[in-house]
Amino acid sequence: MTDYILLLIGTVLVNNFVLVQFLGLCPFMGVSSRTETAIGMSFATTFVMTLASLLSYLVTTYILTPLNLEYLTTMSFILVIAVVVQFTEMVVHKTSTSLYRLLGIFLPLITTNCAVLGVALLNLRLEHNFFESIIYGFGAAAGFSLVLVMFSAMREKLVNADVPTPFKGAAIAMITAGLMSLAFMGFSGLVKI
């Protein structure tokens, strides 16, 4: 039990997928201009990541490994992720059309989010068991959501700030992300994984 909690904390803070492992930067920069879209995106990504890591574990353990088809790992993972994202897209479209429109192209782009594929592959690499896979996936998503929401709040304030003209817009956002990353380095050593 403690292991799982430590795994979670480690994934969310110490080895944060966005700020420390630098995965999933695309939606991080793209969706974080408004907090509403950021929150919506974080829910969608959480759903996708957890489900994807679960399903990919199942596919690996019960289909690919017994049949010696490890070379199909990448393809099948992509297949799984794509299906899950498509499913999520339909659900979002139905439940909240405005969110669907706000997210726009970034919702299907979760498929290409390297964090999702990264979670699935890392689960494999780190030889996690069933529960560990789920927690790892969920933790990755939680870390992603945390950072995404924090960053969007900062960006909303930055819009009204007195920023020098060469730095306005994406430039100051990147600098802020870099500073956040520096801040998160403070967590290193918190949990020994």
Nearest-approach distance from CB 84 to another protein, in angstroms: 9
By CB under 8 A, residue 26 contacts another protein: no
- Outline where the chain has alpha helix (H): 2-9, 25-30, 35-59, 73-95, 97-103, 114-125, 130-159, 170-184
Residue type, 118: G
CA dist., res. 93 & res. 87, Å (int)? 10
Residue list 79-118, contact with another protein (CB under 8 A): 79-80, 83, 86-87, 90-91, 93-94, 97-98, 101-102, 104
Nearer to another protein, 21 or 33 (CB): 33
CA dist., res. 120 & res. 37, Å (int)? 25
By CB under 8 A, residue 73 contacts another protein: no
By CB under 8 A, residue 119 contacts another protein: no
By CB under 8 A, residue 193 contacts another protein: no
Nearer to another protein, 72 or 191 (CB): 72
CB of 95 closer than 8 Å to CB of 120? no
Nearer to another protein, 17 or 47 (CB): 47
CB of 53 closer than 8 Å to CB of 93? no
Give the count of beta carbons closer than 10 Å to the beta carbon of residue 162. 4
The residues binding another protein (CB under 8 A) are: 59, 63-64, 67-69, 72, 75-76, 79-80, 83, 86-87, 90-91, 93-94, 97-98, 101-102, 104, 157, 159-160, 162
